[in-house]
Amino acid sequence: MFALTDISSVHWVAFIGAVLVFLALDLGVFHRSAHVVKVKEALAWTILWFSMAMVFAFFIAPLMAGKWTPDDTKVFITGYIVELSLSMDNVFVIAVIFSYFKVPPAYQHRVLFWGILGALIMRGVMIWIGAELVKQFSWILYVFGAFLLFTGLKMLFAKDESVDPERNPIVRLARKFLPLTDKFDGQRFTSVVNGKKLFTPLFLVLLIVETTDLVFALDSIPAIFGITKDPFIVFTSNVFAILGLRSLYFVLAGAIGYFRYLKYGLSLVLVFIGGKMLALIWEIHVSSDVSLGVVIGILVISVLASLLAARFEKKTTG
């Protein structure tokens, strides 16, 4: 695998090892017993994960990578913001899934933990494949760009569709081939009923969460390669975004209605990145400063527009 920053296999192992330690502490110490994650606790974790991402970008990464420049820091932050923003769309879908299966709030963190662990593995594999494709076939970036442009325009003009978990092919296969019970057994994924080991609804929800992230990754992975071709920046920005997704869910799940225009903002971000990648055909390069400014500007405007619209609606109906 190629690298634009001076990163060795030791750095990769150290970073992945640190992530695994943090995840082990999360599940084994801070969330060992099932409990309802309050907004205050979730907000504290969100701030912590964001702070860790910034510390990594400004201090740890420059120490790890001898060739890491201030421009690499900007690229990392741009990628992190894009991936975190695209993950917010995933948050709303997960909220619908939890609601549909009536998952008790105390058990939701466990599903998200294992779901995110699976997402880290899947995205790691996809990033490795993407990096190898870009390395061997540079023209694949134009394919990614066209795909993102198409996806962004489709999102921009498509009508909102309700999420129906029962239409998920994984759910249909699971119901057909796996021994399932319709009763929860605490936060366990399996349960023994009449001497027979069965999968609980929590396991079914975990399967849907994993496949949902896989679908969203089909957009987010090409998007990050539109920002940088450096696999280390691609991977680390993805990891920090995914790690913050869990706490972000508990912060935003109850405020879905306040982000009605976020979808349009995300679609414009995809259009911008796709257009940026296609512009390379004519040797038009967009600087990291411009990319970061455009991405933040689009997202801030979409969120502010959503909040103002919600406030106006509340006034008129109240």
pLDDT per position as a tens digit, 107-124: 888 888 888 888 888 888
Task: Output 68 or 237, whichever has higher pLDDT.
Answer: 237
The highest-confidence range among 53-57, 165-169, 240-244, 262-266, by mean pLDDT, is 53-57
Q: How far is CA 210 from CA 185, 193, 207, 259, in A?
A: 21, 26, 5, 24
Q: What is the pLDDT of residue 298?
A: 92
Instruction: Check whether 89 has a pLDDT greater than 60.
Output: yes
Q: What is the pLDDT of residue 210?
A: 87
Q: Measured in whole angstroms, how far is the alpha carbon of residue 159 from the centre of its chain?
A: 23
Place of tokens 């092919």: 169
Task: Output 190 or 10, whichever has higher pLDDT.
Answer: 190
Q: What is the pLDDT of residue 23?
A: 81
Comparing C-alpha atoms, which of 308, 237, 225, 310 is closest to residue 85?
237
Q: How far is CA 71 from CA 76, 222, 291, 303, in A?
A: 9, 20, 12, 27
Instruction: Check whether 240 has a pLDDT greater than 80.
Output: yes
Q: pLDDT > 90: what percent of the chain?
A: 16
Q: What is the pLDDT of residue 151?
A: 87
Query: Please, which pLDDT band fits residue 53 given cuts at 50, 70 and 90?
Result: very high
Give the pLDDT mean for 207-216. 83
Domain ranges across the chain = 9-317
Task: Output 129 or 91, whichever has higher pLDDT.
Answer: 129
Is this structure's pTM higher than 0.85?
Answer: no
Per-residue pLDDT reduced to its tens digit, 155-185: 888 776 666 777 778 888 888 888 988 888 8
Query: Please, which pLDDT band fits residue 2 given cuts at 50, 70 and 90?
Result: very low
43 CB-near residues (< 8 Å, 6+ apart): 247, 251
Query: Please, which pLDDT band fits residue 1 given cuts at 50, 70 and 90?
Result: very low
Instruction: Check whether 200 has a pLDDT greater than 70.
Output: yes
Q: What is the pLDDT of residue 3?
A: 43
Comparing C-alpha atoms, which of 125, 79, 129, 122 is closest to residue 236?
79
Give the pLDDT mean for 37-49. 84
Q: What is the pLDDT of residue 106?
A: 85
172 CB-near residues (< 8 Å, 6+ apart): 166
Check if the beta carbon of residue 112 is closer than 8 Å to that of residue 207.
no
